[in-house]
Amino acid sequence: MDEQQLHDRRWWSLAVLAGSLLVISLDNTILNVAIPSLVRDLNATTSQLQWIIDGYTLVFAGLLLTAGAMGDRFGRKGALQLGLVVFGFASMASAMAQSANQLIITRSLMGIGGALIMPSTLSLLTNIFHNPRERAKAIGLWAAVAGASGALGPVIGGILLKWFSWHAVFFVNVPLIIVLLIAGRVLLPKSKAEVAQRLDPVGALLSIIGLVLVLWAVIESPSAGLTDPRVVLVGSLGALVVAAFIFWELHIESPMLDMRFFKNPRFTAANIAVTLVYFAMFGQMFVMNQYTQVVLGYSPLEAGLRMMPMSLVMICVAPMAPRFVHQIGTKLVVGGGLVLTSIGVLIVSTVPTSNGYPVLVTGIIVLAFGMGCVMAPATESIMGSLPREKAGVGSAMNDTTRQMGGALGVAVIGSLLAAVYRPGVQSSMSAAGIAQPLIDTAKESVAGAVFRAATTPGISPETAAQIHQIAVQEYVDGIHIAMKIAAAVILFAAFIAFKWLPAHAHDARSEVSGPLDGLASLTFAEAEGALEDDQVELEAEMEVERDAAVDSTGGTVRS
């Protein structure tokens, strides 16, 4: 494909990249509305539910850095298409799973495909859009899809569960992937780093093992407890492996992830912002999809539709974020967006046990507006801190922070909630004279408590009502505490953004030097800074064109 064809098809190419991103991002959240169905059909325990939802994220995050580096070396288009094939076959296997453990395994395989797809989408985008204004707009649309698709997951899942079983949320991926494979083969250019650096297999292995161990400890902690010996041992071992990875990367000639990137405060602050935005989104969605269905009594479709304002707001706001940056600068947009995200989470933390939707929708709208302001500018800050030769690894780093943030959100917010819910259920139900076997079941999850109370033979209506009332009250109490702590963490991220991000993009160029791929020295720092300088550049271009026109007619060219 020559440069002219690539230019003419660039927006169609973006549609393929956005579609690929949409498919894998939906699977981060689409199963949240199916939690009660999985409890009923697969007899899934709380721990298994955590792994079904987060096993995908675990493998996804653990492989992203390696997948980004391999795409840079061997070809980003090939990595994207291989990822789509793996994701499609794993989706079919997930749809046919007969047990919770089988579903955990197949969801993990989907994570391998997702890890190949996601970094390829953003790194291909950097090589398709050369014009700074168009590239900033394309990144805004990419960020809107990345954020809104996660919010759309419960909506689409609810629609599918209205007429089909939970298996449909996996089967729906297959026709979409077939279309994307065909379109991508025609529309996407071949792209890889012009200066192929040596692979870093030791760094790749250490990064995978370290991230997997740390994330395992984080994800397992809600059910096992933070002081469980397995959690402490695995988490500590993971931290040691991550430390070994950092040491290794600092002392080899061609590192997979150049640790000098973190010397740039802009790069570090933007990664913190992205991590905690997704921490908020995934954590509140995991909690609130159970709140809407179990506490408020909505069906999966009703619950999904009532979360729709979140995705609509993000779809509208994220593409406008570059304009906000042009008007008031990166620091205020990202920092202010994090403040709004914190306020939204704080509002959500006040939901009552009944008639709570007005409070919930107010909170998620404010939260979504804040997220929309953060995602595109923070993404550009990450990519703008790196040379384009490192586009794949930079994209993978950006995507890893998203997945890490999401996994942390589910695990940490879930753990905080469980720390309130479980002892509260034990105390209140014991005081009410409820049998210990019923209490043990209720302590597993609020969905399990309500479902078992309604279906277990021999339980009187009065006892079932008591179990339902206590479980709901303790769950809401847990929401209040967990979400307030989450709001404080996000507010801290806002402080970091205000302190470290530049007032304007052109105030902070990359501190990392290296060979650049494509147009001379054009990085995302220039792309973001060009939002403010475009008018000057356009006027200069118009003046050159006018001079050429005068010259061609025999006039005098101004010097």
Domain shared by 330 and 215, yes or no: no
Is residue 461 domain-resident? no
What pLDDT is recorded for position 107?
A: 93
Quote the percentage of the chain above a pLDDT of 90.
24
Domain shared by 351 and 497, yes or no: yes
Domain shared by 310 and 251, yes or no: no
Which range among 141-150, 183-192, 413-422 shows the weakest confidence by mean pLDDT? 141-150
* Residue range 114-121: mean pLDDT, rounded: 87
What pLDDT is recorded for position 104?
A: 92
Domain shared by 124 and 138, yes or no: yes
* Residue range 299-324: mean pLDDT, rounded: 86
What pLDDT is recorded for position 235?
A: 92
Is residue 510 domain-resident? no
Residue 521 binned pLDDT confidence (cut-offs 50, 70, 90): very low
Residue 416 pLDDT greater than 60, yes or no:
yes
What distance in Å separates the CA atoms of residue 310 and residue 357, rounded to the nearest whole number? Answer: 13
- The boundaries of the domain holding residue 554 are 532-559
Residue 397 pLDDT greater than 80, yes or no:
no
What pLDDT is recorded for position 4?
A: 67
Domain shared by 349 and 485, yes or no: yes
Phi, psi at 502, each rounded to 5°: -70, 155
Residue 313 pLDDT greater than 80, yes or no:
yes
Is residue 481 domain-resident? yes
Structure tokens at 171: 């089967």
Domain shared by 269 and 231, yes or no: no
Domain shared by 280 and 330, yes or no: yes
Domain shared by 276 and 325, yes or no: yes
What pLDDT is recorded for position 86?
A: 96
Query: Which amino acid, one-letter code, is at 261?
Result: F
Residue 510 pLDDT greater than 70, yes or no:
no
Residue 524 pLDDT greater than 50, yes or no:
no
Instruction: Find which of 121-135, 209-223, 469-483 is predicted with most confidence, using mean pLDDT.
Output: 469-483
268 contacts 508 by C-beta, under 8 angstroms: no
Of 240, 255, 270, which closes a domain? 255
In 10 A of CB 318, how many CB atoms?
A: 28
Is residue 116 domain-resident? yes
Q: Rounded to whole angstroms, what are the CA distances from 155 to 289, 468, 533?
A: 10, 26, 40
Of residues 198 and 426, more confidence is placed in 426
Residue 244 pLDDT greater than 90, yes or no:
yes
Is residue 520 domain-resident? no
Indicate which CATH number applies to the domain containing 114.
1.20.1250.20
Per residue in 444-491, pLDDT (tens digit) is 778 878 877 887 777 888 888 898 899 999 999 999 999 999 999 999
Instruction: Find which of 70-74, 120-124, 206-210, 242-246 is predicted with most confidence, using mean pLDDT.
Output: 242-246
Provide the CB-side half-sphere exposure for 191 (13 A, CA): 31
Domain shared by 97 and 208, yes or no: no
Domain shared by 397 and 249, yes or no: no
Instruction: Find which of 146-150, 287-291, 387-391, 534-538 is predicted with most confidence, using mean pLDDT.
Output: 287-291
Give which of 328, 356, 358, 361 is closest to 344, Cα–Cα: 361
Residue 341 binned pLDDT confidence (cut-offs 50, 70, 90): very high
What pLDDT is recorded for position 532?
A: 37
Domain shared by 127 and 207, yes or no: no
Per residue in 33-56, pLDDT (tens digit) is 887 788 778 877 767 777 787 788
Average pLDDT, the chain: 80
Residue 534 pLDDT greater than 70, yes or no:
no
Which range among 86-100, 228-242, 289-303, 441-455 shows the weakest confidence by mean pLDDT? 441-455
203 contacts 249 by C-beta, under 8 angstroms: yes
What pLDDT is recorded for position 456?
A: 77
Is residue 438 domain-resident? no
What distance in Å separates the CA atoms of residue 116 and residue 63, rounded to the nearest whole number? Answer: 8
Domain shared by 302 and 230, yes or no: no
Of residues 241 and 36, more confidence is placed in 241
Of residues 526 and 298, more confidence is placed in 298
Of 238, 255, 272, which closes a domain? 255
Residue 182 binned pLDDT confidence (cut-offs 50, 70, 90): very high
Number of domains in the chain: 3
Residue 166 pLDDT greater than 70, yes or no:
yes
* Residue range 83-105: mean pLDDT, rounded: 94
Of residues 440 and 218, more confidence is placed in 440
Which range among 152-156, 310-314, 393-397, 526-530 shows the weakest confidence by mean pLDDT? 526-530
Of 218, 236, 255, which closes a domain? 255
Phi, psi at 492, each rounded to 5°: -65, -40
Of residues 188 and 534, more confidence is placed in 188
Residue 272 pLDDT greater than 80, yes or no:
yes
What distance in Å separates the CA atoms of residue 105 and residue 300, rounded to the nearest whole number? Answer: 25
What pLDDT is recorded for position 96?
A: 92
Is residue 84 domain-resident? yes
Is residue 127 domain-resident? yes
Residue 243 binned pLDDT confidence (cut-offs 50, 70, 90): very high
Of residues 505 and 213, more confidence is placed in 213
Of residues 181 and 142, more confidence is placed in 181
291 contacts 150 by C-beta, under 8 angstroms: no
Please state whether the predicted TM-score (pTM) of the whole model is above 0.85.
no
Compute the radius of gyration of the chain from its Cα atoms: 24
What pLDDT is recorded for position 90?
A: 96
What pLDDT is recorded for position 507?
A: 52
